[in-house]
């Protein structure tokens, strides 16, 4: 495929996320209290800043040399907003979480994002008052995508205004101490020395060290195996207690600490 003058090349991070070995799609879930008006949702998305964003209105194309580019296109909102029909027996509110988890688990192995349209979808599960956002990681990182998703929301006390992210005031940083010539030389030597150590360790691990076999390690073709999604609930009060015990910590710090631990007790 030939490239156009207006095509934009992918950034290095974007190219990484579209490789078969690191193909990543973000699946986010929004649970709502009220029934979903699908037509209103389509209208909100069509008029939102998200549609005007270059990455959300561009196709992923590959030129004859194998280079990936973003190409501007017209967004067909009906191809991106996918409505899951209600089951014949409607929904059992006690099973909403189980059904939604199963739906997302199926999406992760059976429904890739096709490149004949921009790499995002909104799945509406009307019976479960739930919306599933599917966004390819090549479109952006978590912070930028969350900021963009906020443009779809409105404040309860002022429906015409979009939510804002509260900026946390931090104490002013101290000015760095001026270093002498000898201190600068020692600092540079340390940087070179530790860089050599880390690079050598990285190369040796890549050549000889293998991951340990664990109960959750898969085999060949593990990316196509059936999956099961399980959610966990954490008490906000408990998280506040942990936050109060750690100096200068936030609720986000506590949440990321739980996630990074890699296991639930």
**What long-range pairs does 65-72 form, CB within 8 A, spacing at least 24?**
67/3, 67/9, 68/9, 68/10, 68/14, 68/15, 68/18, 69/3, 69/7, 69/8, 69/9, 69/10, 70/7, 70/8, 70/9, 70/10, 71/4, 71/6, 71/7, 72/6
Q: Please state, in angstroms and rounded to a whole number, the distance separating the CA atoms of residues 2 and 64.
A: 6
Strands 120-125 and 130-136: antiparallel
Q: Please state, in angstroms and rounded to a whole number, the distance separating the CA atoms of residues 260 and 103.
A: 25
Query: Which candidate in 69, 128, 136, 137 is catalytic?
Result: 137
Q: Is 57 exposed, middle or buried (CB count within 10 Å of its CB: 0-12, 13-18, 19+)? A: middle
Q: Is 69 in the active site? A: no
> Looking at the annotation, which residues are catalytic?
137
């Amino acid at each position: 495929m030939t490239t156009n003058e207006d095509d934009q090349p992918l950034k290095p991070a974007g190219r990484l996320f579209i490789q078969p070995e690191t193909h990543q799609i973000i699946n986010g879930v929004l649970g709502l209290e009220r029934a979903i008006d699908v037509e209103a949702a389509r209208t909100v998305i069509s008029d939102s800043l998200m549609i005007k964003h270059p990455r959300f209105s561009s196709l992923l194309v590959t030129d004859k040399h194998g280079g990936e580019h973003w190409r501007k296109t017209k967004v067909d909102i009906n191809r991106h907003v996918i409505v899951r029909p209600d089951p014949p027996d409607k929904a059992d509110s006690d099973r909403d979480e189980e059904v939604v988890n199963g739906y997302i688990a199926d999406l992760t192995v059976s429904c890739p994002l096709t490149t004949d349209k921009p790499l995002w979808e909104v799945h509406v599960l009307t019976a479960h008052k739930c919306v599933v956002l599917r966004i390819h990681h090549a479109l952006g990182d978590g912070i930028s995508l969350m900021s963009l998703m906020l443009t779809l929301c409105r404040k309860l006390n002022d429906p015409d205004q979009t939510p804002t992210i509260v900026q946390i005031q931090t104490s002013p940083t101290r000015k760095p101490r001026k270093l002498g010539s000898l201190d600068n030389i020692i600092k540079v030597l340390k940087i070179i020395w530790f860089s050599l150590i880390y690079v050598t360790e990285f190369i040796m691990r890549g050549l000889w060290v293998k991951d340990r076999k664990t109960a959750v390690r898969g085999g060949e073709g593990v990316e196509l195996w059936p999956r099961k999604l399980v959610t966990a609930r954490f008490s906000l009060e408990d998280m506040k207690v942990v936050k109060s015990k750690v100096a200068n910590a936030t609720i986000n710090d506590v949440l990321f600490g739980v996630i990074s631990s890699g296991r639930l007790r």
